[in-house]
Amino acid sequence: MPAFGLLALGAALRRLLLRDDAVWAGIERLVFWVLMPSLLVSAIAPLDLAALPLGSMALSIWLALLAGTAVSLGVARGFGLGHPSMTSVVQGGIRFNNLMGFAIIGPVLGPAGTALGAVATGLIVPCVQVLTSLVFAIGPGAGGGARVSPLRALRQLALNPLLLACLLGFALAALGGLPPGVRPLLRALGQASIALGLLCVGAALSLGALRSRPGVQAATCLVKLGLMPLLTLALARSFGLEPVPLAAAVVFMALPTATTSYVMARAMGGDAPLMAALTTTEHVLAVLTLPLWIALLGAGG
């Protein structure tokens, strides 16, 4: 309820009180560049890296992402979509809204879940960035959109604040953790990222987009909200992951696509209207699918 309540509140605030796009753009920059990195560093830095099942988590997540990309490309091909629309289907099929993940994983699994959610984010972000950049690069953009070059893709990875925060968190963990007094500061900033970030997500959703190409939307939602977590669950169990890291990996892979997918689609010549529709539809359906996955994980021990 807190996570989806914040989404609904964000949508209401956008339409009734804070109608200026510049307000939301500023909050989004604050969350992306300061608050969310603080959450990741504060969650990862105290971890005992030697005790983490990094190899099994990485294999489970990366193999599922590769399979999800292949299936998403197949969906786009099956519907006869052009390259711009295909990029939106792939983004809708493999990207994830990590802010919603942290809003859910903490109450469900406690501090250990938040820490492992940060680990999952550190594994998902670079893989997704590489895959989506490659997908944009394999064809021309629409409406004069720029193609992604390998150099530009590497630059995007090198400057991604979430990836940098994960790397910094792992480095600090290897060195023994954060200095005294720093962790409470970063933790406070990180907690602010969850509420503000979900308000921004709600403000960005558009219910009018739900009617756009329902067949494509349904197939993409099935990949993202159904197939991706199912593959992750099967792979994690085959690699012998313990229940808590398994649950963290599955929950984060079951999240709806990132709202920044629309920004990337618009900037790189993708199908922005389809991306907006997929983002909204996946968040609406996640109200049902996420509790089901959490219940399934709980029933499985």
Q: Which residue has the higher pLDDT, 85 or 129?
A: 85
Q: Which residue has the higher pLDDT, 197 or 3?
A: 197
pLDDT of residue 199: 86
How far is Cα 151 from Cα 159, in angstroms, rounded to an integer?
12
Residue 223 pLDDT level (bands cut at 50, 70, 90): very high
Q: How many residues does the chain have?
A: 301
- What is the pTM for the complete model shown? 0.82
pLDDT of residue 142: 40
Q: Which residue has the higher pLDDT, 224 or 157?
A: 224
Q: What pLDDT digit, counting tens, does each position of 57-78 carry?
A: 999 999 999 999 999 999 999 9
**Which two tokens mark 216?**
């494509």
Q: For residue 257, give the amino acid letter.
A: T
Confidence check: pLDDT of 143 > 60 = no
Fold observed for domain 2-203+210-299: Na+/H+ antiporter like fold (1.20.1530)
Q: What pLDDT digit, counting tens, does each position of 226-281 carry?
A: 999 999 999 999 999 999 999 999 999 999 998 778 767 876 778 878 888 898 88
pLDDT of residue 148: 53
Q: What pLDDT digit, counting tens, does each position of 21-39 carry?
A: 888 888 888 888 888 889 8
How far is Cα 22 from Cα 172, in angstroms, rounded to an integer?
35
Mean pLDDT across the chain, nearest whole number? 85
Residues 6+ positions from 215 with CB-CB distance below 8 Å = 79
Confidence check: pLDDT of 79 > 90 = yes
> b/e string for 203-221 if b means 16 or more Cβ within 10 A?
bbbeeebeebbeebbebbb
